[in-house]
Amino acid sequence: MEQNTLSMELEILYLDEYFCAINKPAGLMVHKSRVARDVKTFAMQELRNQLDRYVYPVHRLDRATSGILLFALSPEDCTLAQQMITDRKITKKYWTVLRGYTPEEGEIDKALTSEFNDTPKESLTIYKKLEQQESPFKVSERYPACRTSLVEAQPITGRTHQLRQHFAKIRHYIIGDNKHGDHKLNKGFKSEVGVENMLLHARSLTFIHPHSRENVHIEAPLPDYYSEILDKLGYQYHQQ
């Protein structure tokens, strides 16, 4: 369930003198926003307090998305890392559960707009299917069982809600996505399977460290509720 306050410290996945990566819980916003004026707790504020120093978000994750969130520990390194993202030198991969059986792999090359800019921008996502399952849950009046795919997705560009919009455009909606997903299906998954959160998790982040030149690969464990949902649906891949 989405949250406004934290009951424990943020999980730190990576920390050196330049960068820090956390495993952001679903429901936690990255920083203050005019679209959620009532929220009092933010990842940036919590991490600053935890490390007792200023931190600078290199990128952002949707409030409903869990997983790896990278911070820089100086404005200069934040600018450097953001340029690496622009230059596609940082690879981000997400795990998500989609409606139906997807192709084994594919790419979605569809321009996207956002609520702040209605000019379509080039957008590209590549993905591969990790596993598919037919599970004995009647989440839709049309079918006696539900078919889903566990997919690893990599956004090549970085548009607002890119994965959510792209999978909606090919009608393989992200389960639990209340903005771009299938609302009736989400209702069925909530009542029959117990899905309370959007099943989108920033699973890994890889880059060449701009200072040490070492390869950095960070992975974020799935939240407990996510693993429990996968277990209910019969998935095995996440247990390997």
- Active site members: 62
The C-alpha torsion from 110 through 116 and 119 to 120, rounded to 10°, is 0
Structure tokens at 29: 């916003």
- The helix/strand/coil state of 93 is strand
Rounded to whole angstroms, the maximal C-alpha distance in the chain is 56
Q: Catalogue the E-assigned strands of the chain.
A: 11-15, 19-24, 56-57, 66-72, 90-99, 105-109, 112-114, 117-121, 124-135, 146-155, 200-208, 215-219
Distance (Å, whole) CA 201 – CA 153 = 10
- If phi > 0 it is left, if psi is from -120 to 50 it is alpha, else beta; for residue 67 that is left
The residue type of 50 is Q
Three-state SS for 234? coil
Residue 208: partners with Cβ closer than 8 Å, 6 or more residues away: 89, 214, 215, 216
Structure tokens at 165: 């919009």
How far apart CA 79 and CA 56 sit, in angstroms, is 9
Decide: 192 and 139 in contact? Cβ < 8 Å. yes
